Structure 1
Amino acid sequence: MTRKKGLRAFSKNELLEELARRHADEVYRDDMTMSEMELAVEKLKGDSGDPGIEALLRRMKPEKPTGKACPKCGKRIPVKVRDRERTVRSLAGPVTFKRNYHYCDECKCGFYPVDRLLNLPEEGELTSEMEKRVLDFAINDVYGECAARWNLHYQEPISENLLRRVIARVGAQCEAADQVQLQQELKPGEGVAEVLVVEADGSLLPIRGPEPWKEAKVGVVYRHDTERNEPIEGRARYVAVVNGLGEFAPVLEDALHVEKINEVPLVVWVGDGAPCNWTLADQLAPDAVQILDWHHAVQHAVDCGKILLGEESPWLPLWQKRAETLLSEGPGAAIAELMECIPEVEKRRRDRADALQALDDLVRYYRTNERRMNYRLLREEGLPIGSGAVESAHRHVLQTRMKRAGQRWSLRNARRMARLRAAYRTAGALAFYDAIRRAHRSPPQRRATPDADRNGFHYARQGRRDIDRCARAAS
């Protein structure tokens, strides 16, 4: 008589084959489709995951009720409460375990060593892997659609409120983290760039409350290949702030600090002509080559032509083509030809004042930005002359998620989502969640004072007035 073997005598493959055979005997029927077979196997995998997680947790050594190092100050802190239960939702199902709670009176910080050992989020009901996946859904689609799409991929459903809580929790960590550390974690620096391009611009987002629209500032920093006259793929870095320049400037400077802007041989700052852009460029990159966006320069000429020739004039395309030709030669040629138009405009009986004002505004605009409009030389050097990178960044970083039909954001949620979207586009879907958590846990980095690097320029981090103004504008 053959003696039965114990389970330990079977190999892992033999056990899996037996489990698969028994499952097939249980669920198979003659008219099963491939989809039904796949779903049955997925359910089997989900059912077997829960005991697997519990078995792994049982292998951990019991936590001793001894003092543990505070994550902030490093001092050994005794146990305050023993054996607190926590239930979290994992990819394999819910799991419950016990751990000890410590509280540091000096740092006013409570912590669970087992949570940190397991790399669990400090708050919430999800494991890191679950939270990472929930965040990926919530950051790319509206919450109602996310909850429905989640059911297509996973057996356990999630609610819209869970998606909101994850965004709020991780978004707060992204805001609170040291921004230099965050940028290094999102996209570690790889040496010094030969050419670094900086672009910044603003757009409006719909906000709930008495102020229906709020400006969001977006900055993009990327490395440029002058030989091919195009950005180097995968080296773009994005920052986004729903507030004014007082808060945006230090965040952008931290991104430039990670790119080692002080060591870059050539920095290019492309702007749309707004005076605040050039002020920001003078403060953050005083040695940068400033370039007026080509399309804005041409558009100003077209706007002037509409006043001189009329909105529906058939000569407008010719006017635009002539403006492009003159701007390609240099701003001086365009200004000289515009000045020649003045005697003809003065002969008008009607709308003479408006026409002269339009010419005066265009000439003033070109003279103000004359040193930023040497497009022929810039093209020969393989440098960008358009701000298309930041224009498209507003669409694919912010507006694709935050400016959909009927959306209205609370200011606090808009600020957090903007930070998360910028981090997402910088690091990519696989890396950005872990990068935010590492930056949030890391201590702030010491850096040189702006007085040494930026010729004494002050912004919100140093100036009390700006800090107070930003605090009032923030949620």
Structure 2
Amino acid sequence: MTTRAVPPADTAFFPLDEQLQLPPTALLPHAHQSLVRLGTHLPFGQAAKEVQALLGIRISEASVRRCTLQAGQIAEAIQSEQAHPEAARPRFPLPAAPVVEQMAMGSDGGMVPLRGGIWGEVKMAVFAQVNPSTAKTEQHSYFARLADASIFADLASAEVTRRGIAQARQVCAIQDGAEWLQGFVDGHRHDAVRILDFAHAAHYLGQVAEQGQQQGYHVPARWLNVVLHELKHAGPERIMRHLQWWKRARPLPAVTDALRYFGKRLAQMNYPQFQAQGWPIGSGMVESANKVVMQARLKGAGMHWEPGNVNPMLALRGEMCNERWEESWQYQQRWRNDHHHGQRQQRSLQRRARCAQELRALILHICLRLPSSTFAPQPSSRKGRTEGQKRWGRQTFSHRMLQDGSAKK
């Protein structure tokens, strides 16, 4: 009696799984989605406890981590595909961008702890609609990645397109003046009104006051408030002349740094004009984005992340904070179905190739076991006189000649 080998469990397929959209886990769809949502909000160990408390499902911390990061990898792949819509009909299309009068965009970087005691810079972009009557931003959306500046700018193009930055009539870019931020603005909206974050400018002036006091110079208690009021309501001209006087009378490294930094960004410090146009002058939306999207989940006590796990978690955090979780989850289901369908097709092709190879081997095996005479060429049956007729001189007659009676007797 012969036994057949049973295929591995991961190669089996039950058609009802696809029809019911069951995840590749032991959980039902609602439990699976709830687990991933909790893993996106909370540390994995705490999320496992919440799953047991809310759903009555006992699951390990490792399982929560695995399911959450797998969902994050799919979300990251979908967002990357949306940033490069090469197909005429993309699988995950972006909705039509609205036309808005004024939009604001901001970018910044934040550090996240990685394994090995090192830190990585997570780049953050935030987009918002501007209310010109109050100069405040609303309807914020975020995009974050652990990547260098060029790759980040490329991947963020999907969110830029979705928020209609190119279609907006006016756009301002509020930032701290770093060089890579200028390149980000150039690539997506080169004509944007560029505004140096007022808090960043105040930081340089605060360092001047602090170093002056440390060196024993007389710095009035209200000096910083006065110069900041002057900068906000009158512009940077008088502040620059005042810093030049400081450089001559009280040479300090902070004064030199402020002059060099402000000198390259005077056009971005025209705060009275920006406020008159209804633009915000502070990058509070970027600072809050770093806290809400990245720090709230990735900078907990004792956390150290593998570099490959940062972007999947940031992809999930972005969808959660952008209030697009349901849309993202539907796209993830479609991605899983397409991926499983492609795997089944690949396994089918592999089985066909394997069967063809086994058939060829079987035929070769049979041929080698047969005697060589089996494959010897057989004499061909040719028409005409046989060997006996040739030997005895008999003559052959055709059927027509016999009927005509013309054959010799």
TM-score range, shorter chain: 0.7 to 0.9
Q: 2:281 aligns with which of 379, 385, 394?
A: 385
How far off its partner does 1:124 sit? 2.7
* Residues 191 and 343 of structure 1: CA distance in aligned 2, closer, same or farther (over 3 Å): closer
In structure 1, how many angstroms separate the alpha carbons of the residues matched to 2:246 and 2:254? 11
Does the 8 Å contact 2:42/2:297 carry over to 1? yes
Map 1:363-402; keep pairs closer than 5 Å: 363-402=259-298
Runs (4+) off by over 6 Å: 82-86, 182-187, 311-314, 439-443
* 1:390-411 deviation digits (Å, cap 9, x = unpaired): 1111111111111111111111
* 1:347-396 deviation digits (Å, cap 9, x = unpaired): xxxxx4xx1x4322212211211111111111122211111111111111
Q: Does 1:411 align with 2:316?
A: no
How far off its partner does 1:430 sit? 4.8
Identity %: 25
In structure 2, how many angstroms separate the alpha carbons of the residues matched to 1:205 and 1:268? 28
How far off its partner does 1:338 sit? 1.6
How far off its partner does 1:267 sit? 1.0
How far off its partner does 1:344 sit? 2.3
Instruction: Using structure 2 for the length normalisation, give the TM-score.
Output: 0.72
In structure 1, how many angstroms separate the alpha carbons of the residues matched to 2:278 and 2:296? 31
Does the 8 Å contact 1:180/1:255 carry over to 2? no
Map 1:453-464; keep pairs closer than 5 Å: none
Does the 8 Å contact 2:113/2:303 carry over to 1? yes
Provide the secondary structure at the position in 2 that maps to 1:236: strand
In structure 1, how many angstroms separate the alpha carbons of the residues matched to 2:168 and 2:261? 30
Does the 8 Å contact 1:180/1:257 carry over to 2? no
How far off its partner does 1:436 sit? 4.1
In structure 1, how many angstroms separate the alpha carbons of the residues matched to 2:169 and 2:318? 26
Provide the secondary structure at the position in 2 that maps to 1:364: helix
Q: 2:33 aligns with which of 123, 132, 135?
A: 132
Over the aligned positions, Cα root-mean-square deviation in angstroms equals 3.0
Name the structure 1 match of 2:76: 175
How far off its partner does 1:138 sit? 0.6
* Residues 189 and 221 of structure 1: CA distance in aligned 2, closer, same or farther (over 3 Å): farther
Name the structure 1 match of 2:103: 196
AA aligned to 1:419 is: A
How far off its partner does 1:117 sit? 2.6
* Residues 185 and 400 of structure 1: CA distance in aligned 2, closer, same or farther (over 3 Å): farther
Map 1:207-226; keep pairs closer than 5 Å: 207-209=114-116, 212-226=118-132
Name the structure 1 match of 2:58: 157
Larger relative contact order (CA 8 Å, sep ≥ 6) = 2
Does the 8 Å contact 1:178/1:440 carry over to 2? no
In structure 1, how many angstroms separate the alpha carbons of the residues matched to 2:306 and 2:160? 30
Q: Does 1:359 align with 2:249?
A: no
Map 1:2-13; keep pairs closer than 5 Å: none
Q: How many pairs align?
A: 327
In structure 2, how many angstroms separate the alpha carbons of the residues matched to 1:114 and 1:330? 68
Unaligned runs of at least 5 residues, structure 2: 1-5, 85-90, 340-409
How far off its partner does 1:303 sit? 0.7
Name the structure 2 match of 1:119: 21
Greater share of residues in helix: 2
- Tell which structure's C-alpha radius of gyration is larger: 2
How far off its partner does 1:273 sit? 1.9
Unaligned runs of at least 5 residues, structure 1: 1-81, 87-98, 102-111, 346-351, 444-475
Does the 8 Å contact 1:178/1:439 carry over to 2? no
